[in-house]
Amino acid sequence: MPGALWPSADLAMSDVSKIAEDLRSRGYKLPNAHVYIDCYGDTAELSEELLGLIGKGTKRAGTSLLWEHEAQNEPLPAVGDIAIVLSFSEEPRFVTRNVSVEVVSYDAVSPEYAAIEGEGDKTLEYWREAHWSYFSRVCADLGREPSPNMPLVCTIFEVLYEIHS
């Protein structure tokens, strides 16, 4: 679950370039592709839990609300894009590459996708409960009402690097 209106709403493209350059200077070779900032969770606790799942190889997908991208006037993730994944405290933790991006409604998310997202017991039931709660908070921030047909951006990624401090 990418974060509700953080940190990308506050990070300018120059900040993305600075973070990418810092990573390059530390030996992390970023592929020649569109690079953007990503994050998971809307609290420090949730962020750490989700980043831990990525680090264990359990979580290989993330879902965002299309309306959030529209509100922030940011492009949708695309296949081949590189994401620098930040912690809640905005420290780089991973570099990932998108391998699949699909916009689907909340009620059309498949059990297979829920399992790839890797949260809880990896069932669609768990996914729906956790994500309904999360997207309800995001919708509230946006002044929207959650609905079963709200459009979601379902992104499957591969981890290129885990960033070590």
Residue among 152, 1, 7, 154 at smallest CA distance from 88: 7
CA distance 102 to 118: 17
* pLDDT, tens digit (0-9, with 9 covering 90-100), for 113-158: 999 999 999 999 999 999 999 999 999 999 999 999 999 999 999 9
Sign of CA dihedral 23, 28, 33, 36: negative
* pLDDT, tens digit (0-9, with 9 covering 90-100), for 74-115: 899 999 999 999 999 999 999 999 999 999 999 999 999 999
pTM higher than 0.85: yes
Instruction: Tell me if 111 sits within 8 A of 124, measured CB to CB.
Output: yes
pLDDT at 82: 96
Residue that wins the pLDDT comparison between 29 and 107: 107
In this prediction, residue 6 has a pLDDT band, given cuts at 50, 70 and 90, of very low
> What angle is formed at CA 143 by the lines to CA 140 and CA 145, rounded to 5 degrees?
70
Neighbouring CB atoms inside 10 A of 80's CB total 12
CA distance 52 to 156: 17
Burial class from Cβ neighbours inside 10 Å (0-12, 13-18, 19+) for residue 100 reads middle
pLDDT at 106: 98
**Alpha helices (H) in 57-123, listed in sequence order:** 66-71, 111-117
Instruction: Tell me if 10 sits within 8 A of 49, measured CB to CB.
Output: no
What mean pLDDT do residues 40-66 have? Answer: 96
